[in-house]
Amino acid sequence: MEQRFWPRTHDELNDSPIQVRVATVEGIFNPMDPTPLEERSLNQEVADWIEEWAEDFDKDHEITVEIYVAAGRLAGREGAITNGLHNHFEYREWQSGRQLSKLLREGRISLLIGIGAITGFNLLSKAIRSSTNPVIEIIHEGLSVLGWVSMWKPMEIFLYEWWPILRERRACRRLAEAHVTFPAVAPR
């Protein structure tokens, strides 16, 4: 895949379609996938390129994908390419949805474990707090720290890990519905 145009500003990005340039129609699809054209998965480089652009668009921006095939090698396969692109991103949306569900389930389980652990460590810490022995004081502080560390994973999931997956899922949904065009001449 040849890449020539990279938007420099956010406005420039939103004013332009996603452009994909390939030498042949086969360059769009994964060459190792033997299934019929409409069902084939996209070439990973092409899919990543399209998805990265789509994630940067404003969420209310209608997405257009322009596919430039060198030397007019489309041979009437525009419909098959459009279906293949839509099918690929519809499947990616489904995968992202499953990934998000798994992550949130893991977060809920981690939260329950974390709450149990922080409660147990804090109760144990309070039980030994009244000692004047320096070793017991170190254990007391260590138990308090362990309690809060046990909440690390659920907080990481619920504060940081879920939203990139949701952004990817939304981009794939929009790409599954994107308008696909095949301009006759590639701009330079």
**Is the model's pTM score more than 0.85?**
no
Mean pLDDT across 136-148: 89
Q: What is the per-residue pLDDT for 42? A: 86
Q: What is the per-residue pLDDT for 35? A: 66
Tokens 């994973």 belong to residue: 153
Higher pLDDT residue, 45 or 70?
45
pLDDT digits (tens, 9 = 90+) for 173-184: 999 999 999 887
CA distance 187 to 164: 33
19's enclosing H/E stretch is strand 18-22
The first and second tokens of residue 166, run together, are 């949701």
The first and second tokens of residue 3, run together, are 């890449």
The first and second tokens of residue 127, run together, are 């039980």
Q: What is the per-residue pLDDT for 186? A: 46
SS3 44: helix
Q: What is the per-residue pLDDT for 3? A: 53
The band of 36, judged by pLDDT with boundaries at 50, 70 and 90, is low
71's enclosing H/E stretch is none
pLDDT digits (tens, 9 = 90+) for 68-99: 887 667 777 888 889 989 999 999 999 999 99
Least-confidence region, from 17-26, 82-91, 104-113, 179-188: 179-188
Average pLDDT, the chain: 85
Which among 8, 9, 18, 68 is positioned nearest to 47, based on CA atoms?
18
Percent of the chain whose pLDDT exceeds 70: 84
Mean pLDDT across 160-187: 88
CA distance 158 to 132: 39
